[in-house]
């Protein structure tokens, strides 16, 4: 079972080896030549990086709800009491200082829904922090310390594309709240794409001991640079079993750059084509030696892919010289490309190798008209939007999908409790077609006690009747 590192934790990062390694030259990979070399210590690295690592505290008020209130028989005979008492729910994660002005990167799930966020430095000082950017697609968030007028130590980004299986990495944290703990291990695997945590499935796997409480911490290479942000572990017991996953630094760099530029959302290139994995059966049909690459199953008209000349059944095998093993690998590589200019894609078409230059542009987002529904109705607490190409890309919908889609649900809201989910496409309410968000907003003003709703979820049409 995959687990986020929620609950009390601190994962500190590791810095440079006190000048012992030439950063420009990269890592010197070699087997220890003598027993004396095996006795070398990581202590200088740990001591150097502590000022650049922080603890992140998040708190939110939650209603102390009695589960009996969900029972209609209980409500009928005993009524519904007034305002329920609230309690403060706290979580603890960690983060990495990535800009001297006080920017901290952590995981979205560490601060999700928080009413208050505080950051504690290694010298025990605490600062309130504001959330300046959340990117749920990568599970990365950027915080800014409030009221600071000083320069803070930071960690530099490694080029995570240069990492190799077997490279040594360090992690420092506070697993299970026992206190500062240093662990070390190696990179066990790269480009893990079947993890199922975020939209961009391309993780660094490590056997460095990482336990619940390490969310948002850093995985650091032996040049003292940030190789990745630890995000989840695979565990049957809840503790470390030597399988941890980190978001590569090159993805972290993109999110931090967006925050520094003042953006409220991360802008990424849009391909405008749907890709599918190559199964052994498809590989045999195409005459491929291995089931590898990303097969084009559809192309959006006038998209960057269409203008570049990408066609149905093309097999993408590389992007900018980097091999593409599956659609997830392509999505990650493409998403980390800077906007502007072009990216070269290597394609196999009918047995011939072709190179295409794809423009690096964002998806059109005109007409999104995203609104939060607040009127008393089954939709209360949901945020909905018209399906633009950008919305379709974010929610993994077919590019030709039309209508209104749920983009966000507030915690413990009517919409969430009723059972709506992010990505639900609302087709009709009380037999009225819903073509745009204004139609749905108007429908929610109806005082009807019976709601007949038609929606599409996961490609399946569902008819729901609520109330009565």
Sign of the torsion formed by the C-alpha atoms of 198, 200, 206 and 208 = negative
Is there a contact between 463 and 454 (Cβ–Cβ < 8 Å)? yes
Q: What share of the chain is helix, strand, coil (3-state, %, to 5)?
A: 20, 35, 45
Residue 139 annotated as lining a ligand binding site: yes
Cα angle 268-401-456, degrees, rounded to a multiple of 5: 115
Task: Give the whole-angstrom CA distance, residue 92 versus residue 58.
Answer: 6
> Which uninterrupted H or E stretch holds 466?
strand 460-467
Query: HEC string of 349-375?
Result: ECCEEEEEEEECCCCCCCCCCCEECCC
In the set 91, 138, 139, 377, the catalytic residue is 139
Residue 214 annotated as lining a ligand binding site: yes
Residue in 94, 84, 114, 104 with CA at minimum distance from that of residue 155: 104
List alpha helices for 233-325, DSSP H.
Answer: 249-260, 280-286, 304-308
- The DSSP code for 304 is H
The tokens for 125 are 């000082």
**Residue-by-residue DSSP string for 30-93:** ----SHHHHT--SHHHHHHHGGGEEEEEEEEEEE---GGGG-HHHHHHH---SSPPEEEEEEEE
In the set 215, 235, 240, 343, the catalytic residue is 215
Residue in 385, 326, 353, 356 with CA at minimum distance from that of residue 195: 326
Is there a contact between 422 and 457 (Cβ–Cβ < 8 Å)? no
Residue 113 annotated as lining a ligand binding site: no
In the set 91, 94, 109, 138, the catalytic residue is 109
The tokens for 208 are 């460095």
Task: Give the whole-angstrom CA distance, residue 62 versus residue 84.
Answer: 10
Catalytic residue check, 23: no
Catalytic residue check, 109: yes
Catalytic residue check, 297: no
- From the annotation, which residues make up the binding site? 109, 139, 213-215
Active site residues per annotation = 109, 139, 215
- From the annotation, which residues make up the binding site for substrate? 109, 139, 213-215
């Amino acid at each position: 079972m995959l687990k986020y590192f929620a609950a009390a934790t601190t994962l500190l990062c590791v810095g440079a080896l006190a000048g012992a390694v030439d950063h420009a030259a990269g890592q010197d990979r070699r087997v220890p030549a003598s027993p004396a070399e095996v006795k070398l210590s990581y202590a200088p690295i740990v001591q150097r990086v502590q000022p650049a690592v922080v603890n992140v505290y998040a708190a939110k008020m939650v209603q102390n709800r009695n589960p009996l209130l969900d029972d209609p028989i209980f409500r009928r005979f005993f009524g519904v009491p007034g305002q329920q008492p609230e309690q403060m729910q706290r979580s603890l994660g960690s983060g990495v200082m990535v800009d001297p002005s006080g920017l901290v990167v952590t995981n979205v799930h560490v601060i999700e829904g928080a009413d208050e966020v505080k950051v504690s430095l290694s010298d025990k000082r605490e600062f309130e922090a504001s959330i300046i950017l959340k990117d749920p697609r990568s599970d990365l968030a950027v915080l800014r310390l409030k009221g600071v007028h000083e320069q803070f130590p930071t960690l530099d980004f490694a080029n995570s594309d240069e990492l190799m299986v077997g490279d040594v990495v360090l992690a420092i944290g506070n697993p299970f709240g026992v206190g500062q703990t240093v662990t070390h291990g190696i990179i066990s695997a790269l480009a893990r794409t079947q993890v199922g945590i975020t939209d961009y499935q391309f993780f660094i796997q490590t056997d460095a001991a990482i336990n619940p409480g390490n969310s948002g911490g850093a995985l650091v290479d032996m040049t003292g640079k940030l190789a990745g942000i630890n995000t989840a572990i695979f565990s049957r017991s809840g503790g470390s079993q030597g399988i941890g996953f980190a978001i590569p630094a090159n993805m972290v760099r993109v999110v931090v750059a967006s925050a520094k530029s003042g953006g409220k959302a991360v802008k990424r290139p849009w391909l405008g084509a749907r890709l599918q994995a190559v199964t052994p059966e498809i590989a045999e049909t195409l005459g491929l030696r291995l089931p590898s690459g990303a097969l084009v199953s559809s192309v959006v008209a006038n998209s960057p892919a269409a203008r570049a000349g990408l066609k149905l059944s093309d097999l993408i095998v590389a992007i900018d010289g980097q091999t593409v093993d599956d659609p997830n690998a392509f999505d990650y590589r493409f998403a980390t490309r800077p906007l502007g200019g072009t990216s070269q894609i290597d394609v196999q078409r009918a047995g011939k190798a072709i190179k295409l230059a794809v423009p690096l542009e964002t998806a059109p987002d005109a007409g999104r008209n995203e609104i939060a529904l607040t009127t008393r109705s089954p939709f209360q607490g949901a945020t909905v939007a018209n399906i633009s190409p950008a919305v379709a890309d974010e929610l993994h919908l077919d590019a030709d999908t039309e209508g209104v889609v749920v983009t966000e649900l507030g915690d413990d809201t009517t919409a969430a409790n009723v059972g709506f989910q992010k990505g639900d496409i609302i087709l009709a309410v009380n037999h009225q077609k819903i073509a745009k968000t204004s139609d749905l907003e108007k429908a929610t003003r109806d005082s009807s006690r019976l709601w007949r709703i038609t929606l599409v979820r996961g490609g399946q049409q569902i008819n729901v009747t609520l109330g009565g």
